[in-house]
Copies of this chain bind each other. A is one copy, B any other.
Amino acid sequence: MTPANPAFDTVADTADVTALLERGRALSAPVLRAAVDRLAPPMDTVAAYHFGWIDAEGRPSDGDGGKAVRPALALLSAEAAGAPAEAGIPGAVAVELVHNFSLLHDDLMDGDEQRRHRDTVWKVHGPAQAILVGDALFALAYDLLLELGTVQAGRAARRLTTATRKLIDGQAQDISYEHRERVTVEECLEMEGNKTGALLACAVSIGAVLGGADDRTADTLEAYGYHLGLAFQAVDDLLGIWGDPESTGKQTWSDLRQRKKSLPVVAALAAGGEASERLGELLAADAKSNDFDSFSEEEFAARAALIEEAGGREWTAQEARRQHAVAIEALHAVDMPHRVRKQLTELADFVVVRKR
């Protein structure tokens, strides 16, 4: 039987990574909460709901705040520059704020009703609050960085701006690709680089910049983060089709149900051959179908099988491995404490073997 995540069939030792993610969460969460508390009502409540700290009725909740890979990276980033992990905290929180600003807006633009097993903000609090609170989190990210008042903070804010602009470009591409029948593999990779790579890259440089790193070091760390982001997204695309619903918290064949032109689909369509052509015909018919919403498990399974037969699954797994390798290579172009390099390597391994 094929493993749920076919990028790697070994299981990495994740004890160390769990501790790293936990440290990222523990050091950034109080600062994130204090930042969100600065928002005027009712935006503070809406944001608290989005972060999973309260439920739709306002009762305390300890929702799933996500994997917290970015905060863990931002703290390691500071340590990579020889600074204490704590120097990366404002950067970690600023990146989380920008990430969540984009989730709030993207969920509304995409009409997504669920995130992390809960109704999205626009479903619960309405579109206006989703726009407004997204804007507020975005502004808050700059507040947090610029109130440091240092030259380093200005440089960090500039990198965050560049990443955010790419994030927005990626969302623009994602929206425009939805209306197109065909998307090339290159376009898909560019879009995923913008949507996922850029902010992960920023997470890995922002702590270093705050810790006093020069631009060359920051750029190289960003290369690690960018390719890590592409590896992360390739795995996400695999999980979006073949992930175990128990682990991912998503429906079976989730990305197929949403007609996402993710890497396995795009690669399968580009591959040529019989399965590729048959898949192309099916998806073209699906795009016009009125019954799509009532498709059975078997119909999605048939599409997934064609994607696999055309080579889309294996190509994407290889792509994850390739991006992982490029990321690790970048790590060796920067001088940093041995322990930090080891932990950044373990985090990269974790990202590609994860099952959710």
Interface residues of A (CB under 8 A from B): 40-43, 101, 105, 108-109, 127-128, 131-132, 134-136, 138-140, 142-143, 146-147, 149-151, 153-155, 157-158, 161-162, 164-165, 168-169, 171-173, 175-176
When distances are taken between beta carbons in the complex, the residues of chain B under 8 Å from A175 are: 128, 132
Tell me which of A142, A151, A164 has the highest count of chain B C-beta atoms within 10 A of its own C-beta.
A142
When distances are taken between beta carbons in the complex, the residues of chain B under 8 Å from A151 are: 151, 154
Interface contacts beyond A105-B132, A154-B157: sample of 9 additional A-B pairs, CB < 8 Å, sorted by A: A127-B127, A132-B171, A139-B161, A139-B164, A139-B165, A142-B157, A143-B165, A146-B154, A149-B154
Q: How far is the CA of A50 from the CA of B143 in the complex (A)?
A: 28
When distances are taken between beta carbons in the complex, the residues of chain B under 8 Å from A135 are: 101, 105, 134-135, 138, 168
Nearest neighbor of A147 in chain B, beta-carbon distance: B158
- Do A109 and B138 touch across chains, with their CB atoms under 8 A apart? no
Q: Please list 28 pairs of residues, one from A and one from B, whose beta carbons are closer than 8 Å in the complex, sorted by A's number.
A: A40-B169, A40-B173, A42-B172, A43-B168, A108-B127, A108-B131, A109-B127, A109-B128, A132-B172, A132-B175, A135-B138, A135-B168, A136-B168, A136-B172, A138-B138, A139-B161, A139-B165, A139-B168, A142-B158, A142-B161, A143-B158, A143-B161, A143-B162, A146-B161, A151-B154, A153-B154, A154-B154, A157-B157
The 7 A-B residue pairs with the shortest CB-CB distance in the complex, in nearest-first order: A154-B154, A146-B158, A109-B128, A142-B161, A40-B169, A139-B164, A139-B165
When distances are taken between beta carbons in the complex, the residues of chain B under 8 Å from A142 are: 142, 157-158, 161
Q: How far is the CA of A155 from the CA of B153 in the complex (A)?
A: 11
Q: Is the interface of A mostly helix, strand, loop or mixed?
A: helix
When distances are taken between beta carbons in the complex, the residues of chain B under 8 Å from A132 are: 105, 109, 168, 171-172, 175
Nearest neighbor of A144 in chain B, beta-carbon distance: B161
CB distance from A331 to the nearest CB of B (A): 27
When distances are taken between beta carbons in the complex, the residues of chain B under 8 Å from A146 are: 154, 157-158, 161
CB distance from A292 to the nearest CB of B (A): 21
CB distance from A101 to the nearest CB of B (A): 8
Q: How far is the CA of A194 from the CA of B344 in the complex (A)?
A: 44
When distances are taken between beta carbons in the complex, the residues of chain B under 8 Å from A164 are: 139
When distances are taken between beta carbons in the complex, the residues of chain B under 8 Å from A157 are: 142, 146, 154, 157
CB distance from A97 to the nearest CB of B (A): 12
CB distance from A195 to the nearest CB of B (A): 13
Q: How far is the CA of A164 from the CA of B39 in the complex (A)?
A: 12
Nearest neighbor of A38 in chain B, beta-carbon distance: B165
Tell me which of A40, A127, A143 has the highest count of chain B C-beta atoms within 10 A of its own C-beta.
A40
CB distance from A354 to the nearest CB of B (A): 29
When distances are taken between beta carbons in the complex, the residues of chain B under 8 Å from A41 are: 172
- Do A42 and B176 touch across chains, with their CB atoms under 8 A apart? yes
- Do B131 and A43 touch across chains, with their CB atoms under 8 A apart? no
When distances are taken between beta carbons in the complex, the residues of chain B under 8 Å from A139 are: 161, 164-165, 168
Q: How far is the CA of A147 from the CA of B150 in the complex (A)?
A: 15
